[in-house]
Structure 1
Amino acid sequence: MASNNNNGPTQFHPLPAVGSIVWVKFPYAVGQPGPYARPAIVKEVSPAYHRVKLVFGTSQKTEKLYPTEFVVKKTDPDFLQTGLSYDTKFDVSRIANVPYDDEWFEIHSPRPGKPPFTSPVIGQLPASYIPAIQLAVSHVK
């Protein structure tokens, strides 16, 4: 659900939970939405500022992982929970803190035959990935 105060971007409500996978225009420059939406994991939520801290995701070059990255594969038993369509890697060293509104986030089109999404949240990162996240975080300098 979205709400607008008529003075700018429309905010999405409610805020996502930590561990949610969202569709966001992840920034390449501070303060500017990126050129297109991509998946990201919600790392922190700030209700006071209606902002979320996100971990960068991409479906590109998932076979090449750096120490701060982990991959969610279509063949993983919990993959359906994620809402992702492709193998996707996440880089815990690439973090962005952005407003939870329609300037930054998009409502993603689901896989064919699935009901439409009503918020930028497409799924949830399963708890089975916690060890992979912890290992990746241990490599952040």
Structure 2
Amino acid sequence: MSDTPESRLAAFGLELPTPATPVANYVTWVRTGSLIVISGQLPLRDGKLLATGKLGAAVSLEVGTEAARYCFINVMAQLKAAVGDLSKVTRVVRLGGFIACTPEFTAHAGVMNGASDLAVAAFGDVGRHTRSTVGVPSLPLDAPVEVEGMFEVA
């Protein structure tokens, strides 16, 4: 088996789902030049939210981190739909994470590592990226995490 982002995911027992369709007036990705921007993705697994609620309340750090991981799996599914082959990614430029949390919650970075760690595992050194992680009072469908991304492609 060749060493590709998808083969690396398969080694972890992961495969990309069918990309989710937009739930409002937006598109899931836009390409401009060599950059592809992926709209925020929720932590869907088998078409259902992995969890609902807020970090610092009903959602544990572990579940939030796993939710961020699933968000990134869904980001990659959108990316594959955009470019056809994840091997065309030459750089994961930026990830943005939104963490639904209580005002007292401060472990945003640890939650977002679920997405960031998977980016590096799937893409190797080109998966190292910049990022922002922001706590918010709520997210669509009461999701605990949402992740967006920007990628450079060949």
State the TM-score, normalizing by the size of structure 1.
Answer: 0.27
Higher strand share: 1
Which protein has greater RCO, CA pairs closer than 8 Å, 6+ apart? Answer: 2
